């Protein structure tokens, strides 16, 4: 997923939680949905970054030789400029791009 192409603002925006929770009817459930998606996005971004930085990892573990790789720095800066995972998840929730369902227990068998 390319996070740069999303229309997510880079800064924090104040949201009306009552309006935001109109789909679920509960502010807590809305926050839980957004936070779970933000954790998924953060894990995906971290794994993508680790894959890209692994290409530049030296094969020998010599602590005396530390080289700065310009490409590695640019990749790190790219990920630093991306919107935070919570902002991306909130925008996905507002745009109705998240699928969520309420887990209900079947009380008849108890």
Residue 12's SS3 state is coil
On the question of pLDDT at 99 being above 80, the answer is yes
Find out whether 52 and 95 touch, Cβ atoms under 8 Å. no
3-state secondary structure of 70: helix
Percent of the chain clearing pLDDT 70 (strictly above):
78
Residue 3 tokens read as: 């996070």
Q: What's the pLDDT tens digit per position in 38-71?
A: 999 999 999 999 998 888 766 665 555 556 678 8
**What three-state secondary structure class fits 100?**
coil
Q: Going by C-beta distance under 8 Å and a sequence separation of 6 or more, which residues neighbour residue 3?
A: 41, 45, 82, 83, 88
pLDDT beyond 80 at 94: yes
Contact status, residue 67 vs residue 93, Cβ threshold 8 Å: no
Residue 47: its pLDDT value, please?
93
**Domain boundaries defined on the chain:** 16-57+68-99
């Amino acid at each position: 997923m390319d996070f740069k192409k999303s229309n997510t603002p880079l800064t924090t925006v104040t949201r009306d939680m009552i309006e935001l929770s109109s789909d679920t009817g509960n502010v807590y459930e809305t926050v839980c949905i957004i936070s779970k998606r933000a954790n998924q996005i953060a894990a995906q971004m971290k794994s993508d970054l680790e894959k890209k930085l692994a290409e530049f990892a030296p094969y020998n573990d010599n602590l005396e030789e530390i080289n700065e790789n310009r490409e590695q720095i640019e990749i790190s800066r790219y990920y630093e400029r991306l919107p935070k995972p919570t902002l991306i998840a909130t925008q996905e929730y507002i745009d109705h791009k998240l699928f969520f369902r309420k887990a209900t227990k079947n009380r008849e068998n108890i």
